[in-house]
Amino acid sequence: MKPLNFALVLGLMSVPSLAFAQAEAHSHPADQVAPSASQKAFDQLKTLEGSWVGQLTTSPQEPTVNGKFAQFSLRVTSRGNAFEHEMSVSGLPDHPLTMFYRDEDRLLLTHYCDAGNRPRMVGKVSPDGKTLEFDFLDLSGGNERGHMHHAVFTFIDENHHLEDWTYMMPGDHPMRAHFDLQRTNAGTGTSSH
């Protein structure tokens, strides 16, 4: 490719990035609208970015996982438009993945379950901002083995939070999983994404 053509191609490729940066640079505080409830909830969730560890307890008690050690990896991605939540429990081969994102005025999650389905839930933050609760919306994929149905995040402080997940077993029998989690990389609770 000739140097002039290469420079032209390179210049054209950078136009979207420049336009995005210029749009951000020209916004004035007076032009900005107060964040919606879903944006506030999403911003709160993103403060959990980092690595977390804790113990899993189940109700009713499930001997194969109750008391096991759990690790969580949470990260902001897609220029701050998505939040990835990956969990692993000692002794289990699967690492379920959950993605959080805003859709207009709603905060949604899609859980990519090891049961082979993808439930979606809608989130709502409590008035005091300490709890973020997700209620079942719909399900893609089969439900023969059950599905994740409900999730609650409780913010204790920047290095401590709780997660409560409810799995609906076949026959509509709930199985609750409680995680008491501590940050393993203290001091990295906010993201610059």
Q: Is residue 39 part of a domain?
A: no
Which pTM value belongs to this model?
0.79
Q: Is residue 108 part of a domain?
A: yes
Pick from 79, 122, 85, 119: which is nearest to 103 by CA? Answer: 122
The total of structural domains in the chain comes to 1
Residues 6+ positions from 179 with CB-CB distance below 8 Å: 54, 55, 56, 70, 72, 162, 163, 164, 165
Strands (E), the chain: 50-59, 69-77, 82-89, 97-103, 106-112, 118-125, 131-140, 147-157, 160-169, 173-183
Give percent of the chain with pLDDT exceeding 70.
Answer: 80
Q: What is the pLDDT of residue 124?
A: 93
Q: Is residue 76 part of a domain?
A: yes
| 144 vs 23, higher pLDDT | 144
pLDDT tens-digit profile of 62-84? 888 889 999 999 999 999 999 99
- Measured CA to CA, the distance from residue 94 to residue 87 in angstroms comes to 9
Residue 49, helix vs strand vs coil: coil
CATH number where 97 lies = 2.40.128.20
Residue 2 tokens, joined: 């000739």
- Token match 């939540």: residue? 85
- Token match 């990519």: residue? 112
Is there a contact between 124 and 147 (Cβ–Cβ < 8 Å)? no
- Measured CA to CA, the distance from residue 113 to residue 126 in angstroms comes to 26
Above 50 in pLDDT, residue 61? Answer: yes
Show the domain range for 171. 47-183
pLDDT tens-digit profile of 127-173? 998 999 999 999 999 999 999 999 999 999 999 999 999 999 999 99
